Homo-oligomer: A and B are copies of this chain.
Amino acid sequence: MARTSGSSAETTGPRVKEAALKLFAQHGFAAVSMRQIASEVGVQAGALYNYTPDKQSLLFDLMRDHMVGLAAAWEHQKSDESAIAQLERFSRFHIRYHHERQDAVFIAYMELRNLTPENFAIIEKLRGDYEAELVAILERGVQKGDFSIAEPKIAAMALIAMLTGVNTWFREGGRLLLSEVEHVYLNMVKQTVGVSPRV
């Protein structure tokens, strides 16, 4: 056998990434073999190497794409407004963006230890940049007297952990809609930074 009918790099390439994303999230990077990914795509293992130099790069690309996409999406969202409004915008954005990309979020948090040191440093830098966006919002709010928090950097870590945590329990079709969950979290976020919520 050889080239199959209908095959083209433009369709196979993305399918490899999709399959890897799904399987890595489901079973973990180390537990998934190249043959499993190939089988999900409907191809033999050797063909994957037209799209990635090796398994490690496949993981790294997925993580980098996620972090870069996150940063770009926030850059597009952010706006010049009051610190309270910015915090609200960030919280809504974070919940929704992460909810829509559960597999990528899971991988980006869980598979850091499977990266080479160089790749790890790159991902950590991207993550730090994103966290710094929230830190800046909090510091500005403190400066303006809108927020009451002793340690903006710690508060940022706390808030991000809290918001990302939605992914661990929220499932579509449960008691609440995502929009309702967003509302509940928004009030908690505001209270956390010392702003009394509107009713």
Where the two chains meet, the residues of A that have a C-beta atom closer than 8 Å to any C-beta of B are 26-31, 110, 113-114, 148-151, 154-155, 157-162, 164-165, 168-169, 181, 184-185, 187-188, 191-194
Contact = CB atoms under 8 A, between A and B. Distances in A.
A123 B50 CA distance: 41
Copies of this chain present in the complex amount to: 2
Given A26-B113, A110-B110, A113-B26, A158 B188 contact: yes
B157 A161 contact: no
Contact of A185 (B30, B158, B185): B158
Contact of A154 (B27, B28, B181): B181
A113 B154 contact: no
A184 B114 contact: no
Contacts of A27: 30, 113-114
